[in-house]
Amino acid sequence: MPPDDERNPGRDAALRDLVGLVTRFGETADPEVLTSADADRCLSALAAAADVEVDLQVRHALGTLHWLRHSVTGEDDDLRLSVALLGSFADSAPALVPVAMWPLLAGGTTTAGTAANRLVRRFLESGDRAVLLPALDLFRTAAGDQRSASLSNLCAALQLAAEHLPDPGLLPEAVSAGRAAVAAGEGSRTAHIHLSQALVALGLHRGDANTTAEGVAVARAALAGSADRAGANQVLAAALQAEHSLSGGLEKLREAADLTGEAAKLVPLGTPEAIRVHANHTAALNALFDGDGSTATLAEAVSAGRAVAEDLGPGRPEARVVLGNLAMSLLSLHERTHETALLDEAEKHTENAIAAAAHQPADAAALRANLSLIHRTRFSRTRSPDALDLAITTGRAALGGMDERDPRRTAAAANLSHALHARFRQSGDLASLREAADRAREVVARTPKPAPSRPGRLADLCAVLRSLFERTRAPEVAVEAARAAREAVLDVSEQAPEFPTVLNTTALLLRTVSAAAGDDEMLAEADRLSRAAVQATPPGSPDLPARLSNKMIISRSRWQRTGDPRHLRDAVEQGRAAIGLIDDGHPDLPSVRANLGLALSTLHDVDGTTSLRAEALRCYTDAARSPRAVPLLRIWAARSAAALAVAEEDLETATAHLEDAVALLPRLAGRALGRDDREHLLGRINGFAAQLGRTFCLTGAPDRAVELLEQVRGLLQAETMQERGADFADLRRLAPDVADRVDEVLGEFAADEPADDDPLATPDAAQRRERLDRRWRDLVVEARGRPGLKNFLRPPELSELRSAARGGPVVYVYAHNDGCGALVVRADAPVRIVELDENLRSDEVFARANELRAAIAASTDKAYVTRVSAERQVSGILEWLWDAFAGPILAELGEPERVWWCPIGVMGYFPIHAAGHHREGAGRTVLDRVVSSYTPTLRALGYAAERAEGDGTAVLVSVPSPPDAARLRGVAAEVAALSALLPEARLLTGEAAVADAVVTAMRRAAISHLACHGVSDWAAPGFSRLLLADHDTSPLTLRGLAGLDFAGAALCYLSACSTSDAAPQLADQALHITSAVQLIGYRHVIGTLWPVNDRSARMIATGFYSRLRGEKGVPDTAVSATALRAAVAETRDVMPGVPSHWAGHVHVGC
């Protein structure tokens, strides 16, 4: 282009016009734009206004227009001119030459081989894959002369293309071209090198060790007599490393390191080729370290890598390889020494290597996989969620930038699987675990059977699948894991570094599966494998403490199965050995301590050695107070420590531990997790509420017991109540700007929750929810800093809670192995402790609960004798329930008019309202003494009381024959009877009773009566549901119900089976249909504890609504509890010996 002082306005205007034409053609693809008279004038004007020999910008513009005109017209003159104009850039600026023009340049002054090499150079500089295919065509043309050099060049080009194009035929063609090159040029070292590289690549791609071995043999032939010994050494070293990856043999890695070391001596630093040669030596030393684990090898790799890095000049393309290899050496050294500076240095070098690979996207992706590994390692040391977040984000980006054919994808997928598995162990996010399993499966699928790395990768898959089985209990997952473990154990070599890992992982899997299957032989095999894994782990290995810990866990499991104290003593021995070897800052230390605490306390229970309990308490305490441990482990350790402290009569220590455990609950199952994961984790603290109740009763602190019970029960329900309660109203009034942002975050949380029919979260949902959770917690802190909001969302004190008991006493009833009892809350009196029979323990209560469920199931048996026996058993349990619990509690209460029962844990499976000696007719029954209601918490009772009553409008829903479910024969008669009692009620029945219509009708009515099937899903409580007419396509689930909010909802009568039946592990969380309906806003809900006979259900429903109408004939929902009691008593009086028909109905609410 002319210099600035020689500006040519005519040239500039003509150039703008021509560029405008080209731009317009690109936007419209209209040939007229290029062939019009205007286009001709532009060409002529620009050619006349500038000297194309000097003005490169004009030359390129004219050449481009002629090339485009030829593309639409086929005119030879345009083609000739474009080649003349643009072809001149082939040497100086090959990127300016259209890809399709290169074959046209060959045959003139430019040969096909030269043109092909220029295209390859263009690809290497730009990463543009589109140039590879025309380059291959040119190389094939050039190879037509059958000269060794041309064929060898074709072989090399095909290998390059195979790395970047999804064509499986490229590598076989490369091998064929390489063989032809060797045959055409006896003694050609270059041809041998290219053929060796092609054979190695093809062998790795197919998992064919024989092909790779041939590549090694060809490389040895190239080395013999080679003038470039350093180059030949490196080719042979790379072939040996590839052969090792498929067939093993540490000697191959040693030879490879020796070869690259010799090459490095032949090419000292400071010479042009030195960087690449020394970088390859560093890589070879890294590979050897992975095989032999020698610290000396690792130190040599770091030293060599640092020397090469220091020799790098600015802008050197080799930086990506040099710095990437050095970073991996530093990472390995960090894992030996735990020096943070090494990790920081590794991260810095990897980031610089990625920057240097800006034009090599495949290399940049592989380096991102390494960076992901560095972030994951940082997480393992610090437990920083940000580090783990970066590991996963970077790992996903790495995989996204890798071609399926890239062999480095296997390691990248393995690393991402490890990171995702770590997130699951840290947070409990099931979607991350499923993704981890998918990536681990991909790794195994990409690793051919002969590869020595396959057993280790199978072990990794086995570890992820074990976690997935423990989380889901899906039998197909256990089968898949067992298959992977079996193959790994059969194929792993005893000399392989992965050997102890394979044994250890398989042992843990067998323990897990044996516990589910009750298979003693499988557990014994787990014990043998675990012992062998410990023995195969060298002293000083960083893996030894974890394997000793695993052996401890398995030995304790064997004691549980066999009762042999030798296994328990072995567990303690292995645990103590693990503790002695593990660093204080190691992330696994809290887990090892907690498990040792369990083994010690159990051994104390067996042999009574006093010192064991004190040692166990120290172990539990250290684990509970470790900030790096996951919340679930800390809560378990704190609860265990509290139990030991109670046994030592150190109640102050016990209560301190329980206070700490309660404080951790928001971190255990916070909003960062999806609903399913939160439910699962809350299920893992089953029994906590009963422990709190008992321990604080022992300390004489019943007020604090009630406050803590409210913090551990009904937690998910409490969140919804808070969002609809006074705290949020105060926030809106006092800090509307914060309230707006809170609404935004809660809206994003709700939008991120998977739909009922799509339970799997998107891959990045966990990270998104974690970021939202941080924003949420920051907003809570900000809100508490505003005037008048210091207690925003803080747990309520008893003074705030007790007002919910203004209608009568609320009675918490608990059963624990340290004793059973009750806490009585009144609005105007101190909380009262009711101690029950000192010999009553939770084991007996659980046994009675199981008997009750079995008897209820048997009460519908076809055999009359079985039904009679079952009813007698139910009656006996109700009598025991009176004698053990209800009778003594009512005696302490002075028999008030109303009682709200708040059963804790297993007590929720008993109909306390129906406890008593009904068969004797002497009035020793709860039903004859008080009006009973239930509430999961004081907060829930207060929430119900604050809701406004409706105007008495009603809807009756009847679904006698839902799809794929048994017909309900009594529903039609029930609804007909109720229609007479509620003549103004709207009726939705049969096919009209679809979910949307039912919800709409319920929203408009004060009274809703639903006569349908109910399903209590213990495996997935959130998917418990009412079977409406479209339940197979649009199920009305517990989760869907809990998200509704109705104004003026007074009464919902659920004439359906088991609506108050919660999964055992979530008994304290009130996750059942009845509680979900109460959360909608109903002040009164009638539910059932079990399936009820149709005729009895109709009797109770009609008796209930008859009393609800009263003398005025207008439903008065305020008397719902009294009406239900009377209806149930009336039915009981007809059939006192058949309690399954009338004892299951419950009133929940105010």
Both tokens assigned to 608: 């009574």
Q: What is the pLDDT of residue 2?
A: 45
Q: Taking Cα atoms as reference points, which of 1018, 1015, 1023, 1038 lies closest to residue 1091?
A: 1015
Q: Which amino acid is present at 380?
A: S
d(CA 318, CA 305): 13
Query: Reduced to 3 states, what is the DSSP secondary structure of residue 956?
Result: strand
Q: What is the pLDDT of residue 758?
A: 47
Which residue carries 């079995």 as its tokens? 854
CB within 8 Å of 372: residues ≥ 6 apart: 390, 391, 392, 394, 395, 398, 412, 415, 416, 419
Q: What is the pLDDT of residue 269?
A: 85
Helices (H), 886-1009: 887-893, 938-946, 971-981, 995-1004
CB within 8 Å of 40: residues ≥ 6 apart: none
- Rounded CA Rg of the chain: 38
Q: What is the pLDDT of residue 461?
A: 97
Residue 535, Cβ density class (10 Å: 0-12 exposed, 13-18 middle, ≥19 buried): exposed
Which residue carries 């005519």 as its tokens? 10
Sign for the pseudo-dihedral over CA of 1046, 1049, 1054, 1059: positive
1061 φ, ψ to 5°? -95, 115
Q: Which amino acid is present at 1131?
A: T
* Ranges in the chain, pLDDT < 50: 1-5, 109, 756-761
pLDDT in tens, 885-912: 999 999 999 878 999 999 999 999 999 9
pLDDT in tens, 524-569: 999 999 999 999 999 988 899 999 999 999 999 999 999 999 999 9
Q: What is the pLDDT of residue 201?
A: 93
pLDDT in tens, 144-188: 888 888 899 999 999 999 988 878 899 999 999 999 999 997 657
Partners of residue 934 on adjacent β-strands? 901, 1148
Q: Are 284 and 237 in contact (CB under 8 A)?
A: yes
d(CA 642, CA 659): 10
Q: Which amino acid is present at 218?
A: V
Q: Which amino acid is present at 829?
A: A
Torsion-angle region of 1092 (φ positive above 0: left; ψ -120 to 50: alpha; else: beta): beta
Query: Reduced to 3 states, what is the DSSP secondary structure of residue 861?
Result: coil
CB within 8 Å of 611: residues ≥ 6 apart: none
DSSP assignment string, 761-774: PPTTHHHHHHHHHH
Q: What is the pLDDT of residue 1114?
A: 83
Which residue carries 């070292």 as its tokens? 189
Sign for the pseudo-dihedral over CA of 1078, 1084, 1090, 1091: negative
d(CA 588, CA 427): 16
Determine how β-strand 819-826 pairs with β-strand 810-816. antiparallel
Both tokens assigned to 474: 């899906």
Instruction: State the distance between the two ends of the chain, measured CA to CA, in whole angstroms.
Output: 88
